[in-house]
Amino acid sequence: MLAGQIGALAIVNAYNNSSIESPIPGSVLLWTAVALSVGFLGAFLTFLSIVNPGYGSTFTSTQRAPDAVAEIFHGTDEEGVKLAVFKYPEYLWGGIRADVKAFVEENQEEWQREHAPFWTPKLIKRIPNDMLSTATLEQKTTFRRKAKGYKEGASEKKPSVFESIVDEVMDMYSSSSSSSSSSSSS
């Protein structure tokens, strides 16, 4: 921040020292740069004083986001916390995809049977199809149909062209991401 202002001051100063007559005196530029620096420093210190104290370490941390997500997954024994990886895009947890897939495949029937509080339609929707059992995939399809307004036993509402395209793209994406990740894990 300060370096940018000093650089701008140096450029304007160089312009002022050129053979072209300068419309701005150097002292005005200096005081403007000092005032802006103090203002920005004050704003940054105010930000640091009101930000959540737990976030302070993120300003100096060199940990990458995929490493942080892997740490969340491997750093706990709580199943609901481990499944929090699905709230992040797959490229952040793709490095531990095999571990996540094994964990989900191993435990999903138990979660479904025991009605685990974290095993919700919203979570199931986020889990890639290749990690789900057939019964859970059917449940996911049911959730999807209910969300789109399909009624059980009634003639199904014909999806719009847009919905059809979105469904096809989502199916292609989920199948391509599962095949690409399985080939990359080999």
Residue pLDDT, tens place only, 109-163: 999 889 889 988 888 889 998 998 888 888 778 777 776 665 555 555 666 777 7
Beta carbons within 10 angstroms of residue 47's beta carbon: 9
The encoded tokens of residue 97 equal 């995809």
Q: How many helices (H) and strands (E) does the chain have?
A: 9, 0
Does 16 have pLDDT greater than 90? no
State which H helix or E strand residue 45 sits in. Answer: helix 26-50
Query: How big is the chain, counted in residues?
Result: 186
Q: What pLDDT does 58 receive?
A: 74
Q: State CA 133 to chain mean position distance.
A: 26
Taking the C-alpha atoms of residue 65 and residue 70, their distance in angstroms, rounded to an integer, is: 9
Taking the C-alpha atoms of residue 92 and residue 95, their distance in angstroms, rounded to an integer, is: 7
- 8-state DSSP, 152: T
Nearest residue to 141 via CA among 100, 176, 107, 170 = 170
pLDDT category at 14 given cuts 50, 70, 90 is low
Cβ neighbours for 184, distance < 8 A, ≥ 6 positions apart: 94
State which H helix or E strand residue 90 sits in. Answer: helix 90-93
pLDDT tens, position by position, 32-86? 878 888 888 899 888 888 888 777 777 778 888 899 999 999 999 999 999 999 9
Nearest residue to 86 via CA among 98, 69, 71, 99 = 69
